[in-house]
Amino acid sequence: MQDESFSKTKRKAEMHELQALGVTLLELPAAQLDALALPEALAAALREARRISSHEGRRRQLQYIGRLMRAVDAEPIRAALAAQAGRSAAARARHLRLEQWRARLLADDAALTEYAREHAGADLQALRTLIRNARKEIAAAQPPRAQRELFRMLREAAA
């Protein structure tokens, strides 16, 4: 009886999984891809795949990438991708919190007192000025210059 770890079905599933990982790598921005420190042959194949526009040529290149992935330990790549996804999720959550603070500060005067309690080193006078200017911009339907400055100040205070 043949060992199940060597079954053709299981090997094909593993190859498809590696090819899917290659597609995931292909969709990454160049800076994130460079940060992964992939083997040169794999990195070159990924750069080439980005250049190919023909459907059939791209499909063959993806198969080649999948074949190259067999020689590479995929677990460190998966771990690095998961870490990058976690960082970007944390960055999105931080951005959302700052947006919520800005909205609260623009909507309610009492929010500034709460913000001052949580962020002791914040420049309250500058915040008041930006809040007042942002409210004027909103009322006059002007471009959101002060709103952006308020967001920047909140971001710097949170750092």
Using a 10 angstrom Cβ sphere, with 0-12 exposed, 13-18 middle and 19 or more buried, the burial of residue 146 is: buried
**CB 67: neighbour CB atoms within 10 A?**
14
pLDDT tens, residue by residue, 131-146: 999 999 999 999 999 9
Please, what CATH class does the domain formed by 4-72 belong to?
mainly alpha
pLDDT at residue 52 greater than cutoff 80: yes
pLDDT tens, residue by residue, 6-15: 788 988 888 8
CA separation for the pair 15, 8 (Å, rounded): 10
pTM of the predicted protein model: 0.52
Sign of CA dihedral 118, 124, 128, 129: negative
CA separation for the pair 56, 18 (Å, rounded): 19
| pLDDT of amino acid 3 | 52
Which two three-digit tokens encode residue 124? 């309250």
Q: Which H helix or E strand runs over 149?
A: helix 145-158
Q: Does domain 90-158 have CATH number 3.90.660.10?
A: no
| pLDDT of amino acid 1 | 44
Query: Which sequence spans correspond to the domains of the chain?
Result: 4-72, 90-158
Q: In angstroms, what CA-CA distances link 12 with 19, 22, 24, 58, 121?
A: 10, 15, 18, 20, 58
Q: What is the DSSP letter of 6?
A: G
Establish whether domains 4-72 and 90-158 are of one fold.
yes
- The full length of the chain comes to 159
Q: What is the DSSP letter of 59?
A: H
